[in-house]
Every structure is written in C-alpha cells, then in structure tokens.
Amino acid sequence: MPRVCAMREAFHEQLDGIFHDLAAICGNVEIAVRLATEALLTGDAEIAEKVISADVEIDRSRERVEDSAFLLLSLQQPVASDLRTVVAALRMVSELERMGDLSVHVAKIARLRVPNLAVPAAVRPIIERMALVAEDMVTRVSTIITERNVEDALALVSADEEMDQLRRASFAELLSTDWSHGVEAAVDVALLGRYYERIADHAVSVANRVIFVVTGENPSSVDA
C-alpha cells in the first residue's frame, strides 16, 4: 500500500508539472499577442519577425506537454478524475498552440503592409481594444490554469462578450458608406477582427476545460 500511495503521489506531481507547463505556454502566447499587436500598430517588421520565429518554441512546448501526457497514460492506470485531467490537458495545449498561431497571423499582416500600417485610423480604436481584451483574456487564462479557479474561469465569459461586440462594431465600420480605405484594408481589418476573436474563443475554451477538470461538468461551450 505505501508503494501504491507513493506512485499516486508521483503521478499527481507529474500532472501538476503538466499544468505548470501549460501556464508557461500561455505566458508565451500572451507575449506573442502583445508583440504582434505592437508590430501591427507601429508597422515594425522586426517585431513581427520575432513573433513569427518565436512560434517555433510554442510548438515545441506543445510537443513536450503531449509527450508527458502520453507517457503518464502509458505508465499509470489513472482513475476517472485523473484521466479527465490528462485528456483536458491535451486539448488545452492544442488550444494554446492555436492562439499562438493566430498571433503569427496578426504579425504576418503587419509585416505584409510595412512600411504602411494595416489598420486605418478610423478603426484603430476598435482593433486596439480587441487586442487589449485578447491579451487580458490570455493573461487571465494563465492564472486560471495555475490556480484551477472555477469562478475566474466563469468570469472570463463576460470578456468574450465584449470581444463579440467589438467584432460587430468592426463590421459596422467596414460596411459603412463612409469607408474609403479600399478593399485591401477592408480585408485586413476583417481578418484581424477574426484572429483576435478566435484568440478570445480559445481562451474561453481553455477556461471551460479547467472547469471540467475541477468539477467534472462539461460546459456547453467547451468545444468552441
């Protein structure tokens, strides 16, 4: 029995290590979102390149988390709650990687338009706010992962609602008869709005998976 207890303790330490790694990846995603936005709003190609090249490390981190999770599954016989945690971790790391990829998409739009800016002045406040909301949501997700706080996870939904409103506001600008910035700028803004919106959606999905880990309940939007 003591040997079994020791094995279970080691198993849970390894699980905690996986969640620590998830929080670290989330921190890298936060940096990517922030720098991609900076490149977008300043037209700095060097910063955009940093975001694009740094995505390789996020991908490698995802692979390490997946390897750790699969190793746990192969060496242990997790009970239902532990299995739930491992499976959730695998899905969460995939969500985080996608958030990093979306940051790269933002950076590539910024790089493509250098020395000009991709965002016209008319919609700059909306895009700035979308970027700020997205970055804040990623920051909060990192804490949610670390603390596995259900209340904070549930509260993240309200921020996502603001993002949806901002997305609608950006479309209103694009469809306005006053729009005079051409098709290219309209496509850029439409894509940027989509990228930031998807970052927020993935953040909510990760938070919902934390709720699933803690409570065993599957929020309706967990597969968003």
CATH number at residue 54: 1.20.58.220
Q: What is the largest CA-CA distance in the chain?
A: 74
- pLDDT for the residue numbered 160: 87
87: exposed, middle or buried (Cβ count in 10 Å: 0-12, 13-18, 19+): middle
Higher pLDDT, 127 or 70: 127
d(CA 26, CA 42): 24
- Domain assignment present for residue 106? The answer is yes
- Domain assignment present for residue 140? The answer is yes
Task: Give the count of domains, the chain.
Answer: 1
Give the confidence band of 224 by pLDDT, cuts at 50, 70, 90: very low
- Domain assignment present for residue 222? The answer is no
- Domain assignment present for residue 67? The answer is yes
* Average model confidence (pLDDT) across the chain: 90
Q: Answer whether residue 216 shows pLDDT above 90.
A: no
- pLDDT for the residue numbered 221: 47
Mean pLDDT of 167-173: 92
Task: State the residue for tokens 């934390």.
Answer: 210
Q: Answer whether residue 83 shows pLDDT above 90.
A: no
Q: Answer whether residue 4 shows pLDDT above 60.
A: no
- Domain assignment present for residue 56? The answer is yes
Whether this model's pTM surpasses 0.85 = yes
- Domain assignment present for residue 114? The answer is yes
Sign for the CA dihedral angle at 33, 98, 59, 208 comes to positive
Supply the DSSP symbol for 116. Answer: S
CA-angle at 49, arms to 43 and 51, nearest 5°: 100
Residue-wise pLDDT for 110-159, tens only, equals 999 999 999 999 999 999 999 999 999 999 999 999 999 999 999 987 77
Residues in the chain: 224
- Domain assignment present for residue 88? The answer is yes
Percent of the chain surpassing pLDDT 90 = 70
- Domain assignment present for residue 220? The answer is no
With residues binned 3-state (H G I as helix, E B as strand, rest as coil), the percentages for the chain, rounded to 5, are 85, 0, 15
**Parent domain of 203:** 2-215
